[in-house]
Structure 1
Amino acid sequence: MVNAFEIQGGKPLKGEITPQGAKNEALQILSAVLLTEEKITISNIPDIKDVNKLIELLGDMGVIVNRVNEDTYTFEAKDIDQDFFQSEAFKSKGGGLRGSIMIVGPLLARFGKASIPKPGGDKIGRRRLDTHFLGFEKLGAQFNYNPEDGFYNVDASNLTGTYILLDEASVTGTANIVMAAVLAKGVTTIYNAACEPYLQQLCKMLNRMGAKISGIGSNLLTIEGVERLGGTEHRMLPDMIEIGSFIGLAAMTGSEITIKNVHYQELGMIPDVFRRLGIKLELRGDDIYIPAQEHYEIETFIDGSIMTIADAPWPGFTPDLLSIVLVVAIQAKGSVLIHQKMFESRLFFVDKLLDMGAQIILCDPHRATVIGLDKQVQLRGISMTSPDIRAGVSLLIAALSAQGKSTIYNIEQIERGYQHIDKRLQALGADIKRI
């Protein structure tokens, strides 16, 4: 059965929308429940595929999972079934979920061993997991890869604190190594650590559980190992990628939208980057209000040269919002160079935008120049396929602003990251239906 969204675009939207809990925080926080046998309560969990799969995986391992209400669960990791990690069920479930790598750090810390199938998920290159493995090895873990069954078996019966310089400021890598280090003997220092709000959330939660982590929010973390951790309660931050997506959606469709409870101080430079595109937004309490705008004009640099927007590790601009910025720039006045430094091939979805009538020059796998149409020409609806989560939502925003009907296939990709997106957009007046 093929799932697709059918969208009649070109309508302004209006109303309030509340962002879901942060997907990228959820995968770390949920893995951390394995560090203690005591009860942990987590709220504001997004109802999306990648997160639900991880919750199911925790249940299969023997964690007692209770759903308290639609966004709150309790977890008790008292009896973990060690044999499960050698099973075919684990291989198929763990292998299909990129977030499954996140359970390795907590398992090593608490049980001194772990096995993981070769992970799957988005195809963004092999190198991404090396940071995790190198960190575990520095702490004293030993890896054996078994090519016959496709499992990595890790022995970490003697984790010891050490100095670690990360080869890249990987968010998941930092989180995983932090979780392994909290129960290791002695002191671990991690330099070039990621310092995203989501990682800060994990460290604060671990400290409430009894860990001793200092330097939170900086790129130098110091972790003093402790004997054991206890239970806690944790509420996840709203998803900053959703918030950025909704700001872009409002501008592109000329809509008046209020985004509720955004935790503004945790958004870093995201609001400023959208302001550079000429988008008006104001903070009202902890809500972002975006008025309906006929036009928005991209700023230039002080010397008059073309604005460049590039991604960088936090507190730089997140790579996950570059595709949104690119789409929103299509209807701005002026030009902008989008420079995707951290990943290659994420800009290739622009061919679909060209088919819709956008003016974009794809310079190479990392850079695209957008020449804004200033809403003089409306995009036209087409049929297209979503290549990954972020490009999928960018295409969805383009379709909502376009004239006529668009069909987006492969929406499973969008739904890995955005909960009930069709219903939430319908509530704003969007003409979107699932077919």
Structure 2
Amino acid sequence: MSTFKIEGGHQLKGKIQPQGAKNEALQILCAVLLTAEEIKIDNIPDIIDVNKLIALLKKLGVKINKLGKGSYTFKADDLNLKYLESEEFKEDGKGLRGSIMIVGPLLARFGKGYIPKPGGDKIGRRRLDTHFEGFINLGAKFRYNKEELFYGVEAKKLKGAYMLLDEASVTGTANIVMAAVLAEGTTTIYNAACEPYLQQLCKMLNRMGAKISGVGSNLLVIEGVDVLGGTEHRMLPDMIEIGSWIGLAAMTKSELTITNVSWDDLGQIPNVFRKIGITVERQGDDIHIPAHTDGYEVQNFIDGSILTIADAPWPGFTPDLLSIILTVLTQARGEAVVHQKMFESRLFFVDKLIDMGAKIILCDPHRATIIGHDFKSTLKATTMTSPDIRAGVSLLIAALSAKGTSTIHNIEQIDRGYENIDERLRAIGAKIERVEGN
């Protein structure tokens, strides 16, 4: 198990380029299973979760050719479907949340899709009902082996249907869309997720020959087609990483420029950081964060009541950045409430911040009140363990702002979502060292 040693309290300076979007990559890579033709994908992030999915696709028989950094071709013209029922697949699929999205394409093209109960972050219950209810609506038969925690869906031919999703699940919507593009007839999905990464998937599928309308809204209409072809696709920059760098700049009073951020796809992110007092300047397609040498002040609501920042489905504020916002608030001037609605365990990492001297009241599993220090006292260096990807990066940001040397264990969790994070931070002046474990 590897560890980061971080000497905090130093200002950083320079430019940082965001990686390709992790959450988009997991959808797009599964979509290569929908065609026998070649698909070229660029800006794929080199991170554990994505590399695990690429390895799984290779075992399934997808021909994969790496062209260069972040650039691959995929050709799923001769798949080994027996792998799906092997013990090896049951083990491989468990370790990756995104593996669930192979089910929709396989069901659409081959009439069957299987998956072990997926793993991923320990941030609370993440149910799969939306995915499988969608497949059942399209005419699939569902089966579940409770002893092996193994799911399966089968259908001779999927048929289009109207469905109102019980929640605007991003991965659920993606999975159902990928199944519906090859179904017979018209599928209507209401309460569909509409975040930029889902829009990217729909645009790619349309380039492959799918007929999806309503892209960008929560009402998708899909006319089924018989076959899809090849295409080329480029990932958006990762908006969660962009938000992480904004928070890092504020906490370390650093001047940073985040390059090529695809501003129009950032939604509420710049505005939420501005509400907690951070200057976010648009320079072309870059974000410039000046050094906040005098700190940053939280705005109240217009009636004077305390600011509450809550997550919501797109175009609301992404839950993946609430951990970062909470950490940044520990040094703000003023107070705020963070309300994490979607996952009941995601705020439990605040005990590490409290150990570092942060003033946080964990009201319940979903809400925390933060009283900012206004840099009048710094966070203290400590030893901690990363519980999940986003909390891990939040603790890393806290450590970079703290006086002294901190240690973060279980950094594999951070590596799951952030590409070469220690090298990239050193390039802008951070004192961070990776210590390989036994």
Q: Shorter-normalised TM-score: what interval?
A: over 0.9
How far is 1:345 from its partner? Answer: 1.7
Superimposed CA distance per residue, residues 196-221 of structure 1 (whole angstroms, 9 cap, x where no aligned partner):
00000000000000000000000000
Q: Distance in 1 between matches of 2:44 and 2:118?
A: 23
Secondary structure at the aligned position of 1:110 is classed as: helix
Distance 2:147 2:366 in 1: 37
Aligned to 1:175: 174
CA distance in 2, matches of 1:143, 1:213: 25
Bigger Cα displacement from structure 2, 341-350 vs 117-126: 117-126
Answer whether contact 2:123 2:388 (CA < 8 A) is retained: no
Match of 1:362 in 2: 362
Residue of structure 1 in register with 2:335 after alignment: 335
Partner AA of 2:389 in structure 1: I
Counterpart residue type for residue 79 of structure 2: I
> Aligned-pair distance for 1:156?
1.5
Gaps in structure 2 of 5+ consecutive residues: none
Residue aligning to 1:321: 321
Normalised by the length of structure 2, the TM-score is 0.98
TM-score (norm 1): 0.98
SS of the equivalent of 1:27 reads helix
Please show how residues 140-179 of structure 1 align to structure 2 within 5 Å. 140-147=139-146, 149-179=148-178
Q: CA deviation at 1:146?
A: 2.9
Q: Displacement, 1:147?
A: 3.9
Contact 2:124/2:344 (CA < 8 Å) preserved in 1? Answer: no
1:27 aligns with 2:26: yes
Task: State the partner residue of 1:92.
Answer: 91
* 1:366 Cα deviation after fit: 0.7
CA distance in 2: counterparts of 1:237 and 1:102, whole angstroms: 19
User: How far apart, CA to CA, are the structure 1 residues paired with 2:128 and 2:148?
Assistant: 19
Q: 1:125, CA displacement in angstroms?
A: 4.5
Aligned residue type for 1:388:
D
Report what 2:202 is aligned to: 203
Question: Alpha-carbon deviation of 1:155?
Answer: 1.0
Q: CA deviation at 1:122?
A: 2.0
Give the aligned residue type for 1:28: Q
Alignment partners' CA distance in 2, 1:106 and 1:201: 16
Offset at residue 341 of structure 1 (A): 1.1
Report the counterpart of residue 65 of structure 1 in structure 2. Answer: 64
Two-structure CA RMSD over aligned residues (Å): 0.9
The residue identity in structure 2 corresponding to 1:113 is K
Deviations 1:383-415 (A, max 9, x none): 000111100000000000000010000101111
Q: Alpha-carbon deviations, 1:78-117, whole Å to 9, x = none?
A: 0011111111111110121111110000000100112222
Tell me how far apart the structure 1 counterparts of residues 126 and 51 of structure 2 sit (CA, whole Å). Answer: 26
Tell me how far 1:148 sits from its aligned partner. Answer: 5.0
* Aligned-residue offset at 1:127: 5.0
Superposed CA deviations along residues 265-316 of structure 1, whole A, max 9, x for unmatched, are 0000100000001111211110001111121101111111111111000000
Question: Structure 1 302/352 Cα, relative in aligned 2: closer, same or farther at 3 Å?
Answer: same
Structure-1 residue corresponding to 2:376: 376
1:425 equivalent to 2:406? Answer: no
Q: Which amino acid aligns with 2:2?
A: N
Is the contact between residue 20 and residue 43 of structure 2 (CA under 8 Å) also seen in structure 1?
A: yes
Residues 1:434 and 2:434 aligned together: yes
Cα distance in 2, alignment partners of residues 49 and 352 from structure 1 = 25
Tell me what 2:82 maps to.
83
Counterpart secondary structure, 2:128: helix
Using the TM superposition, name which of 73-82 and 140-149 deviates more.
Answer: 140-149
Q: State the distance in 2 between where 1:149 and 1:309 align.
A: 40
User: Identity rate of aligned residues, in percent?
Assistant: 72
Partner of 1:395: 395
Q: 1:273 aligns to what?
A: 272
Per the TM alignment, residue 120 of structure 1 is displaced from its structure 2 partner at its CA by 1.8
Tell me: CA distance 1:300–1:429, structure 2 relative to 1, closer, same or farther (3 Å): same
User: Across the two proteins, how many residue pairs are aligned to each other?
Assistant: 434
The farther-off stretch of 356-365 and 201-210 is 356-365
Q: Tell me the residue number matched to 2:185.
A: 186
Could you say what secondary structure the match of 1:332 adopts?
A: coil
Which residue does 2:408 correspond to in 1? 408
Q: Residues 339-350 of structure 1 correspond to what in structure 2 (within 5 A)?
A: 339-350=339-350
Q: 2 CA distance for matches of 1:254 and 1:314?
A: 30
What residue is the counterpart of 2:258 in the other structure? Answer: 259
Supply the AA of the counterpart residue of 1:164.
M
Provide the rounded CA distance (Å) in 1 between the counterparts of 2:317 and 2:229.
35
* Paired residue type of 1:260: T
Within 2, Cα distance between the matches of 1:357 and 1:280?
25
* Deviation of the 1:124 alpha carbon: 4.2
